[in-house]
Structure 1
Amino acid sequence: MNALQGIEGRVEWAERPNPTCAQGQIRIQVAAAGLNRADLLQVAGLYPPPPGASDIIGLECSGVVIEVGAGSTWQVGDRVCALLAGGGMAEEVVVDERHALPVPAGLSLAEAAALPEVYATAWLNLFMLGALQPGEKVLLHAGASGVGSAGIQLCKAFGSPCWVSVGSADRLAYCEALGAEGGALRGESLESLRDFAPFDVILDPVGANYAKLDLEILGRDGRWVVIGLMGGRKAELDLALLLGKRIQLIGSTLRSRDADFKARLIAELGQRVWPLLESGKLSPQLERTFPVHDAQSAFDALASNQVQGKVVVVIDESLS
């Protein structure tokens, strides 16, 4: 089969061995794969896959089941999307059958490819780890990103007002259209976020640059969930605030979680989130698709920080 690989900072469509399908797994003929910042980091040599995971790029995909392991609940021909530790940007991928979900009714395979990673990340960090309750206030940094777009919609659907930090007025308008109450522009001053504080949960993919402010604008018993380090890895903090406000600082990654944990997470998505996608209360925010022969342009688009929502690479147009 052919697959997308990172070679010297660029992506290349090259031949790779077909993975084998064992009991408890399904083989998917890939239609499309969502692109995430982790993929950019992997291509740059900064985020290797966890032990045992495929080194092929791609943490989520959609497609059609073409082989099932013994005793599988899936059937050949089922349209699915899946959360992966790697391997999504290939003609075929083999995945733990528990990590797949049906394509929500009414959505295309390209749209479905934009769902698993961002909705799993948002649900895990806001609701499972952040223990978000209805009525609690949320701050989402990088609110116009794929995870941010999913997070805004989830907050609105489950009754928690949210605010964002973003890079431009257009992005703020985009977030408000999804349901955000308001926010601040990164290029001006994030100090205006104090006007909306205190927050109960902050979801932060930035890290060091925002750490001091995050600590100050969290309320008592607040949960501060750090999921990325786009703004650096080292910060000086006033730990007296952490103690005095009983703040929980939670570091979180999804890719390296074990298979059973991911299975529980996917099961929760299937029960709590997928019905909202099927009803139209939530939606994939698919901004652009790129054919796999132009995959480098997809990576460049995401790296430009001008994307609102998701970028998807189409692997097999005949399945869309």
Structure 2
Amino acid sequence: MRVIAVEGAGEAARLVMAEGAKPRPGAGQVLIRVAAASVNRPDVQQRRGLYPPPPDASPILGLDVAGTVVEAAGDVAWPRAGDRVCALVNGGGYADYCVAPAGQCLPVPAGLDLIQAASLPETFFTAWNALMVLGRLEVGEGLLIQGGASGVGLAAIQIADRLRGARIVATASSAEKRALCLSVGANHAIDYRDPGWEAQVRDLLPGGCDVIVDAQAGPTTGRQLDLLAEGGRLVLLASHAGRTGEVDTRSIVRRRLSLAGSTLRPRTAAFKAELATALRTHVWPLIEAGRVTTHVCATFPLDRAGEAHARMEANQQIGKIVLIVDPQQLD
């Protein structure tokens, strides 16, 4: 089968088309003929050598796919061969075929095509885990979402608005991105490059933020902890701004704050299956009703995966970038 391979290392690493062995599903797994695979920031980090895959994961890039099941293990009740699904995977998405744990598969929502479906799993699994599991977001709470126009940010805004009626402040770097955040449910959108962005958050959420979701961390961690209300929760999706940051531990203790990391990839298939069940129960009906949407800003054919990565590294995307692997399935 065709796969995208990483040639070279570090900043100079590039993506090239190569041939690889077609995988076979093991117990509890299915084999998907991939129609489309989304591009996520962890893919970029893995290509650069900064995010190695878990030992049991495919070394091929790609964390979520959509397509048609062509083979299922005997112990799998659903999905079965012929079913159209989208799935969260541990790797292997940038290829013609990909193995997925059955519990991490979800049906393609009615009304969505396979390109749109491919944009859903990584962002919605991540957003649900950050908001509902780690953030413990309650009805009407104040929420700050850093990078609201990312795929995860847009998913988190909609989950928080539709299911919790949260008071949502989103940050984004351009007027276009901020307008999109507002259009999907954020109450306010501000520019995180503005030196006064923290004062703006305090004005908009005067009682403090009950939950903050952020992917930058590093030196901004302490400042974000300062924005939390008593009992507030800061959930870090990644640490793009740096490995370390200075925090006031006494403030964490005194104000009963929580600081959590949310990396999903090493978690068990059973845990991710629980997230899939929650999404299928609470979010998929909203997608099918048109109340929750996905925003695909660009598509690239599989052999131009390098261009897709370059666009993400330039921070030019608004929403999701998707690779088209098998155009015939899109007809």
The answer, yes or no, to whether TM exceeds 0.5 is yes
Please say if 1:77 is aligned against 2:82.
yes
* 2:216 is aligned with 1:206: yes
Q: Per the alignment, in what secondary structure is the counterpart of residue 45 of structure 1?
A: coil
Tell me, what secondary structure is at the counterpart of 2:299? Answer: strand
Describe the superposition over 1:95-123 as per-residue Cα deviations: whole angstroms up to 9, x where unpaired.
11111010000100000000000000000
- Deviation per CA, 1:188-235, whole angstroms, max 9, x where unpaired? 222222212311000011102321221111001101111111111211
> Aligned letter for 2:226?
E
Equivalent-residue separation in structure 1 for 2:6 and 2:119 (angstroms): 21
Aligned mates of 1:199, 1:186 — CA distance in 2 = 16
Structure-1 residue corresponding to 2:95: 90
Q: Which residue of 1 aligns with 2:21?
A: 17
- Give 2:4's aligned amino acid: L
* Map 1:278-317 → 2, pairs under 5 A: 278-317=288-327
Contact 1:27 1:65 (8 Å CA) reproduced: yes
Moved more, 176-185 or 88-97: 176-185
Residues 291-311 of structure 1, C-alpha deviation per residue, up to 9 Å, x if partnerless? 112111111111111211000
1-structure distance, mates of 2:167, 2:7: 43
Note if contact 1:6-1:42 (Cα within 8 Å) is conserved in structure 2.
no
1:249-304 deviation per Cα after TM superposition (whole angstroms, max 9, x unaligned)? 11221111111111111111111111111111111111111111211111111111
Amino acid at match of 1:264: E
Query: Does structure 1 residue 196 correspond to structure 2 residue 196?
Result: no
1:62 aligns with 66
The answer as to 2:23 corresponding to 1:28 is no
How many Å apart are 1:240 and its aligned residue?
A: 2.1
Equivalent pair of 1:225/1:252 in contact (CA under 8 Å):
yes
Give 1:22 deviation, angstroms: 2.2
Quote the Cα distance in structure 2 between the aligned partners of 1:314 and 1:150: 22
Any idea what SS the aligned residue of 1:34 has?
Answer: strand
Give the percent of matched residue pairs that are identical in Structure 1 and Structure 2.
Answer: 40
Inter-partner Cα distance in structure 2 for 1:287 and 1:187: 23
The reply on whether 1:113 has 2:113 as its aligned counterpart is: no
The answer as to 2:192 corresponding to 1:186 is yes
Distance 2:185 2:280 in 1: 22
Structure 2 unaligned segments of length 5 or more: list them. none
> 1:168 matched to which residue of 2?
174
Tell me if 1:267 matches 2:281: no
Shift of residue 127 of structure 1?
Answer: 0.5
Q: Matches of 1:250 and 1:75 in 2, distance apart?
A: 37
Counterpart CA distance in 1 for 2:289 and 2:314 is 33
SS in 2 for 1:46: coil
Q: CA RMSD in A?
A: 1.1
Q: Where does the alignment leave 5 or more consecutive residues of structure 1 unmatched?
A: none
1:29-88 Cα shifts (integer Å, max 9, x gaps): 000001100000011111110011000000000000111110322221110000011001
Return the letter of the residue paired with 1:276: L
Q: What code does the residue aligned with 1:241 have? A: S
Which residue is 2:243 aligned to?
233
Q: Aligned to 1:70, what secondary structure does the other structure show? A: coil
2-structure distance, mates of 1:181, 1:233: 31
- Report the counterpart of residue 150 of structure 1 in structure 2: 155
2:72 and 2:30 map into 1 onto residues whose CA distance is 4
- 1:61 partner amino acid: V
Q: Is the 8 A contact 2:4 2:303 kept in 1?
A: no
Instruction: Report the 3-state secondary structure (helix = DSSP H, G, I; strand = E; otherwise coil) of the residue aligned with 1:57.
Output: coil
CA offset at residue 183 of structure 1? 2.9
TM-score (structure 1 length as normaliser) = 0.97
